Amino acid sequence: MFVERSSRIPGFYKLPMEERLRIVAEWAGLTPEEVELLKKFGGLDPKIADAMIENVIGAMPYPFAVATNFRINGRDYLVPMVIEESSVVAAASNAAKMLREGDGIIARCERQYMIGQIHLMKVDAPRYKAMKILEHKNEIIDLANQQDPTLVKLGGGARDVEVRVIETRRGPAIVVHLIVDVLDAMGANAVNTMAEAVAPLLEKITGGEARLKIISNYAIYRLVRVWARASPEAVGGRDVAEKIVDASALAEADPFRAVTHNKGILNGVIAVALATAQDHRAIEAGAHAYAARDGTYKPLSTWDIDREGYLVGTLEMPIQVGVVGGAVKVHPIARIALKILGVKTARELAEVMGAVGLAQNLAALRALVTEGIQRGHMRLHAKNLAIMAGATGELIDIVAEQMIREGRIRFDYAKELVEKYRRELGQQS
């Protein structure tokens, strides 16, 4: 008899991790091998994992790689990247080589200001009340700063208050922005605490009701600007450089292309974000909002050719990251990533991430206007197929190379080749 299963499991979150895993294994019919795989936590202590999020039953390792060749602001970096997509690390390293001349890629991130929002509704005479908020600006800033003495002691804290009146379909609202210098933190917890703390005061000043009290991930006061140049020889000649500029122009004129253009930038940015345990959703949300700031979705980077025939690129985007707080200090691998990177401040981390974003973008555009994106991908894809087909050691390359040579990069063929070579080598398949 078929018994319908229920996902309603009261108290699931209170059970020991082992027990939760047992329930899920039974639910899904996981084999003992699959259960063992889930239990492999790698460099992450299961207790830490269990404390990081809720309902943990295991861990999922991703490859941790290092991009080479990066020279940023006159300094060399080995850049840790965590990502499931092949070719990204190779492409970043490759483009970084093209952009190494002189001081390499230049990246500047200055202010580390985040915006805490408080939305007030049911306010009478909202424009007048908005001004009243400004009258109490110092009081609001003081109250916000009382919430985070550590941040204030280090030289950060609330700096300013901005107000706007907006019309919503539920009536007018006052939007209050608390501008906070979060120094080396990503800042969401810090800012959210402040936003919640000042809300009652804002209600008192306006006679309205505070609805939302939370950070905005549209981090327009936390921008990274990056610029770099590559000689025409470095990118494969003047013709290639011209086509990269064409690709840049197309992204400016076509939002469908701009989205993919920016996805390429984020391939680099987010891989570093994952390696350093950042809130990558925040970075992505902010990046896309910034790309659409003029009302049309635009590329975050541009490419041109200067008078000397050099290919010159620029990138501007918000990057909200931290080297303290959040998961950064909790995840041991993230700590190792920061050590490899050798960065001590959120600002420098954002600069590196922006530089990787621009390099990634160059690599993608160059591949697109020359051999196409698939060739590089297919090489790694062929290797993955060979591994999936059971190849180990030298056989991985032998099988992958043959599939590429013959233009038959398929799983069934990989299997056929693995079996053939195994037979020839007299190994067991």
Q: Applying CB under 6 A, which part among 165-173, 182-190, 228-236, 396-404 lies near ligand NAD?
A: 182-190
Q: For residue 402, what are the contacts with CB-CB under 8 A and spacing of at least 6?
A: 417
The active-site residue, picked from 279, 288, 331, 351, is 279
How is residue 84 annotated by DSSP?
S
Provide the CB-side half-sphere exposure for 129 (13 A, CA).
24
Give the span between the Cα atoms of 223 and 109, in whole angstroms. 6
Q: Applying CB under 6 A, which part among 130-138, 178-186, 360-368, 377-385 lies near ligand NAD?
A: 178-186
188 binds ligand NAD (CB under 6 A): yes
* Cβ-based nearer residue to ligand NAD, 264 or 322: 322
Give the span between the Cα atoms of 290 and 299, in whole angstroms. 10
Helices (runs of H) and strands (runs of E) counted in the chain: 17, 10
DSSP bridge partners of 108: 225
325 binds ligand NAD (CB under 6 A): yes
Size of the residue set binding ligand NAD (CB under 6 A) = 24
| Minimum gap (Å) between residue 289 Cβ and ligand NAD | 12
Angle 238-244-246 (CA atoms, 0-180°, nearest 5)?
A: 105
| Minimum gap (Å) between residue 156 Cβ and ligand NAD | 6
Q: Applying CB under 6 A, which part among 6-14, 124-132, 147-155, 306-314 lies near ligand NAD?
A: 147-155
The reply to whether 377 belongs to the active site is yes
58 binds ligand NAD (CB under 6 A): no
* Cβ-based nearer residue to ligand NAD, 255 or 332: 332
Give the span between the Cα atoms of 72 and 1, in whole angstroms. 65
286 binds ligand NAD (CB under 6 A): no
279 binds ligand NAD (CB under 6 A): yes
The reply to whether 85 belongs to the active site is yes
Helix (H, G, I), strand (E, B) or coil at 175: strand
Whether the CA torsion 268, 192, 136, 208 is positive or negative: it is positive
* Cβ-based nearer residue to ligand NAD, 82 or 234: 82
Sheet strands side by side (includes 171-181): 157-168, 171-181, 113-121, 209-216
Give the span between the Cα atoms of 420 and 416, in whole angstroms. 6
The active-site residue, picked from 39, 132, 263, 280, is 263
The reply to whether 177 belongs to the active site is no
State the residue number with the nearest CB to ligand NAD.
Answer: 325
Tally of CB atoms within 10 A around 259: 14
The reply to whether 124 belongs to the active site is no
| Minimum gap (Å) between residue 149 Cβ and ligand NAD | 8
**Site residues, ligand NAD (CB under 6 A):** 148, 150-151, 154, 156, 182-190, 192, 215, 217, 279, 282, 322, 324-327
Q: List, by residue number, the catalytic residues.
A: 85, 263, 279, 377
